[in-house]
Amino acid sequence: MKSWWQTGSREPAQTPQAAEPAGKTADAQALVRSLAQPVSSLGRDAAEVRGALEDTQKVVVAQREAMQALGHELQLVQQAQQGIALATAESIEAVAQARLALQNIGAEVGGIVQTLRQVSDAASEITRIALQTRLVAFNASVEAKRAGEAGRGFGVVADAVKDLAAQVEQSSKSIMGTVGALDARIDTFSRELSSEGRQAHEQSSIHAAFGTVHADVLRIAQAADQSQQTTAALAERAAELGGEVALALRHLESAFACSDRFLRLSEDLIERIASSGVRVDDALYIEGAQQAAQEIGQLLETAVKQGRISLQDLFDEHYQPVPGSNPQQHLARFCELADQLFPQVQERQLKLSDKVVYCIAVDRNGYVSTHNRQYCQPQRPGDVVWNTAHSRYRRIFNDRTGLASARNERPFLLQTYRRDMGGGRFVLLKEASAPIWVQGRHWGGLRLAFSF
C-alpha cells in the first residue's frame, strides 16, 4: 500500500539525483518543516479573518433588514399622516358648515319668535274684546232686570254671554302667559345661536364650543403637518443609511472574495507541504482520515454485496425533514445502516489524538446521518443553542468547508474553519478529509477535525 503522500493529487517533488549530497535533501526537508508551522498559522489567521467577516456580514445584513423594516414602517406612518391631514381638513370644513347651519337656525328661530309675538298680540286683542263683551253683557243684564218679567229671557242670554266672555278672557290670558314664557325661552336660544355683533369674549357657549373645536382641529392639523415633515426627513435619512448599508455589503462581498483567496492559498500551501514527502504534524490526521474513509467504503460495499441495502438506497438524496426539529434534522434511507456501521470506525478515530474533535462520514451533500456518540443527543424542544451543540446528527452541513469535504475526490483535503457551536460560540479547527468510494462511485467524504 502506498504512503499517503504518494497518493497526493499533485505531482510529488522530484526524486533527488543519486549523486546529490544527502545534506541538501536534509536541508530541504528541514526548510519544509520550518515552513509548515507558519503556513499552518497563516491558515488559522485566514480562517479567523473570514470568520470575522462572516460575523460582520451577519450584523450588516441584520441592519439592512432593520432599515428595510424601518422604511416600510415610515411609509405606513406617512400614509397615516396623510389620512390625518385629510381628516382634519374635513373636520375644519364640517365645523364651518355647522357654524353656518347654526346661523341659519338662529334666523329661523328669530322668525318663530316673531310669529309667537303675533300670536301673543292676537290673544291680547281677544282678551280686550272679551272684556268689552262682558261689559256689554253686564249692561244688557241690568236692562233686562229693569224690564221685569218681559226682559227675563233676555237676561238669561245676557248672563250666558257674560260667562262665556269671562271664559274666553281667561283662555286668552292663559295663551298670553304660555306664549310669553315660550317667547322668552326661544329668544334666549336665538341669542345663543346668533354670534353677529358680539365680541370674542361675549360669544355664546355654543359658538365658544365650536370655536374651541375649530382651534383644536387646527392644532391637530399643524402637529400632523410638522410630524409629516419630520417623518419625510427621517425617511430620506433612512434611505441614505440603507444605501450606505448596501454599499457596506458590497464591500464585504469584495472582502469575502479576498479572504477566500487568502484562505484557499493558505490551504493550498498546507496541502503542498503535506504532499511534499516530508512528514509534518498534519500527517497523522491525513492518514487517519484516509484510513477511516477506506474502512467506511469497504463496510458499505460489503453491506451492498450482502443485500443489506441497495445502491439506490445508499445514494438516497431525498431527505425527509424531521417535524419539530430545530436546527432542522432529516432522514435518509441509509440512516439505519449508518447507525450500525459508522460508529465502530468513527469512535476509534477519536482516540487518534487528544486534539481530535470529531470524525464523521458524510454523503456528497454534507448530510451527516450518524455523528460521534457525544453529538448524537436527542434534541430538547425549544433549546436551539443546546441542540446546535449536542444534536449534530441527521443534519446537512453544506457550508463552504462541509461541502468541499463532502465532494472532494482527491486523496485528501486540508481545510481550516470555524465550527459553529451555537449561541454565538465558535471553535477554530483544522480538518483533514478523504473521499469515500463504493463500487467505484463517490459516496461522500470522511471528515476528521482537530484543534490547533
Average pLDDT, the chain: 78
Mean pLDDT of 384-411: 94
Q: Output the 3-class SS for 174-206.
A: HHHHHHHHHHHHHHHHHHHHCCCCCCHHHCCHH
Distances (CA, A) of 261 to 46, 49, 50: 9, 12, 10
Separation CA 367–CA 449 (nearest Å)? 16
Residue 365 pLDDT class (50, 70, 90 cuts): very high
Which sign does the torsion angle of CA 314, 317, 323, 327 carry?
positive
Residue 18 has pLDDT above 70, yes or no: no
In percent, how much of the chain has pLDDT > 90?
Answer: 32
* Separation between Cα atoms, residue 215 and residue 149, nearest integer Å: 85
Mean pLDDT over 7-17 rounds to: 38
pLDDT at 13 over 50: no
Nearest to 263 by CA among 67, 61, 83, 417: 417
Give yes or no for a contact between 405 and 431, defined as CB atoms under 8 angstroms apart. yes
Contact 78, 231 (CB under 8 A): yes
Q: What is the pLDDT of residue 16?
A: 37
List the one residue out of 348, 353, 354, 397 whose CA is nearest residue 373. Answer: 348
| Tens digit of each residue's pLDDT (9 = 90 or more) over 103-113 | 677 666 767 76
Provide the whole-model pTM. Answer: 0.55
Joined together, the cell numbers standing for residue 24 give: 541538501
Confidence of residue 145 (pLDDT cuts 50, 70, 90): confident
Q: Are 127 and 172 in contact (CB under 8 A)?
A: yes
- Separation CA 14–CA 413 (nearest Å): 22
Strands 413-422 and 425-438, by their bridges, are antiparallel
| Residues 336-348 pLDDT 10s | 999 999 999 999 9
The residue that leads in pLDDT, 195 or 60, is: 60
CA angle 123, 127, 128 (to 5 degrees): 120
Compute the chain's Rg from CA coordinates: 52
Q: What is the pLDDT of residues 302-344, one digit of tens each?
A: 999 999 999 999 999 999 999 999 999 999 999 999 999 999 9
pLDDT tier for residue 62 given thresholds of 50, 70 and 90: confident
Regarding predicted confidence, which is higher, 163 or 438?
A: 438
Q: What confidence score (pLDDT) does residue 217 get?
A: 73
For the segment 390-412, the average pLDDT, to the nearest whole number, is 94
Query: Please, which pLDDT band fits residue 400 given cuts at 50, 70 and 90?
Result: confident
Q: How confident is the model at residue 353 (pLDDT cuts 50, 70, 90)?
A: very high
Band (28; pLDDT cuts 50, 70, 90): low
Residue 357 identity: V
Q: Which grid coordinates belong to 305? A: 454485496
pLDDT score of 97 more than 80: no
> Which domains does the chain show, CATH number per domain?
75-228 (1.10.287.950), 282-450 (3.30.450.20)
Alpha-carbon torsion angle 279, 285, 291, 295, nearest 10:
180
For the chain, the helix, strand and coil percentages under 3-state DSSP, each to the nearest 5: 70, 10, 20
